[in-house]
Structure 1
Amino acid sequence: MSAHNRLIFAVIICISSLFPPEIAVGKRYSIVVQADPHLDFARELCRTALEKAGIEAEFIPAPLCNERRQLDMLRRGLVQLDMMPVTPKRLHAARNGEILMIPVPLDRGMLGWRLNLLLHSQRDMLADVRSVEDLAKFTMGQGEGWMDVDLYEAVGIRTKQVRRWRDAEFVQQMKAGYFQLFPLGLEEALDYFLPHFQTIEPDIVADPYILVKYPWFRFPAVSAVAEDARALYEALQHGFDIMAQDGSFLEVFSHYKKLPPKSAFSERTVIEIPNPYYAYDLVSEKYRHLLYDPLRQ
Structure 2
Amino acid sequence: MKHLTVYHPERPSLAIGILWRRLSLLSRCAVLLLLATPALAGQPVIYSWAESRSADERGHYPVALLKLALAKAGGTYEPKASRHDMSQSRTLRHVELGRDLDITWTLTTPEREQRLLPVRIPIDRGLLGWRLLLITPQDSDFFATLTAGQLKNLRSGQEQDWPDYQILRHNGFKITPATNYQGLFYMLKRGRIAYFPRALTEVLPEIHAQKNIDLAIAPRWVLYYPAPVYFFVNKQRPELAAAIEKGLLMAIDDGSMHQLFITHFGESINRMELHKREIIRLENPLLPAETPLDNAALWYDATRGF
Q: Which category of TM-score, normalised to the shorter sequence, fits these structures?
A: 0.7 to 0.9
Indicate the residue corresponding to 1:103 in structure 2.
Answer: 120
The counterpart of 2:71, out of the listed 51, 55, 75, is 51
Structure 1 residue 292 corresponds to structure 2 residue 300? yes
Residue 77 of structure 1: CA displacement?
A: 1.1
Residues 66 and 51 of structure 1: CA distance in aligned 2, closer, same or farther (over 3 Å): same
How far the C-alpha of 1:146 sits from its partner, in A, is 0.9
Q: Does 1:64 align with 2:81?
A: no
Aligned residue number for residue 224 of structure 1: 235
Q: TM-score, normalised by structure 1?
A: 0.79
CA displacement at 1:49 relative to structure 2: 1.2
Match of 2:179 in 1: 163
Q: How far off is 1:159 after superposition?
A: 0.7
Question: What residue in structure 2 maps to residue 17 of structure 1?
Answer: none
The AA in structure 2 aligned to 1:69 is: R
1:30 counterpart residue number: 44
8 Å contact from structure 2 (residues 117, 238) kept in 1? no
Amino acid in structure 2 at the alignment position of 1:156: G
Mapped partners of 2:61, 2:291: distance in 1 = 21
Superposed CA RMSD: 2.4
Q: Which residue of 1 aligns with 2:12?
A: none
Is residue 142 of structure 2 the alignment partner of residue 125 of structure 1?
Answer: yes
Runs of 5+ unmatched residues, structure 1? 1-25, 94-98
Kept in 2, the 8 Å contact 1:118–1:204? The answer is: yes
Letter aligned with residue 236 of structure 1 = I
Partner AA of 2:44 in structure 1 = S
**2:109–2:287 Cα contact (<8 Å) kept:** no
The one-letter amino acid paired with 1:238 is: K
Runs of 5+ unmatched residues, structure 2 = 1-39
CA deviation profile, 1:218-246 (whole Å, cap 9, x unmatched)? 11111124xxx243122112212212212
Q: Which secondary structure does the structure 2 equivalent of 1:160 belong to?
A: strand
Structure 1 residues 130 and 88, CA gap change in structure 2 (3 angstroms)? farther
Matches within 5 A, 1:118-157: 118-131=135-148, 133-157=149-173
Query: In structure 2, how many angstroms separate the alpha carbons of the residues matched to 1:212 and 1:120?
Result: 19
Deviation at 1:74, TM superposition (A): 1.3
Aligned residue for 2:269? Answer: 260
Q: Distance in 1 between matches of 2:190 and 2:260?
A: 41
SS in 1 for 2:96: helix
The residue that corresponds to 1:236 in the other structure is 244
Report if the CA contact (8 A) 1:32-1:59 is conserved.
yes
Matched residue, 2:190: 176
| Displacement after TM superposition at 1:276 (Å) | 1.5
Shift of 1:149: 1.2
Match of 2:11 in 1: none
- Report if the CA contact (8 A) 1:27-1:55 is conserved: no
Correspondence 1:213 to 2:257: no
Identity of aligned residues (%): 23
Deviations 1:245-277 (A, max 9, x none): 121211222333325117621332211111112
Alpha carbons of structure 1 residues 268 and 189: separation in structure 2 relative to 1, 3 Å: same
> Aligned pair in 2 of structure 1 residues 220, 252: CA closer, same or farther (>3 Å)?
same
Q: Secondary structure at the match of 1:169?
A: helix
Structure 1: how far apart are the matches of 2:134 and 2:194?
A: 9
1:128 partner letter: T
Match for 1:65: what amino acid?
M
Q: Deviations over 1:169-226 (max 9, x none)?
A: 3232224332111111023212x112112x131x22111121000001111111124x
The size of the alignment, in residue pairs, is 258
27 and 295 in structure 1: CA distance in 2 versus 1, 3 angstrom threshold:
same
- The DSSP-based 3-state class of the residue aligned with 1:180 is coil
Deviation, structure 1 residue 73: 1.4
CA distance in 1, matches of 2:73, 2:227: 27
- The 1:284/1:209 distance shift into structure 2, 3 A limit, reads closer
- Is 1:193 aligned with 2:215? no
Q: Which has the larger radius of gyration?
A: 2
| 1:23 matched residue in structure 2 | none
Mark the CA change 1:44 to 1:284 in structure 2 (over 3 Å): closer, same or farther: farther
Matched-pair contact (CA < 8 Å) for 1:45–1:252: yes
Offset at 1:148? 1.1
1:39 counterpart = 2:59: yes
Which one of the candidate residues 103, 123, 130 is aligned to 1:81? 103
| Counterparts of 2:292 and 2:225, CA distance in 1 | 14
Cα separation, partners in 2 of 1:84 and 1:172, compared to 1, 3 Å: same
| 2:107 counterpart SS class | coil
What secondary structure is seen at the aligned counterpart in 2 of 1:250? helix
The aligned counterpart of 1:22 is none
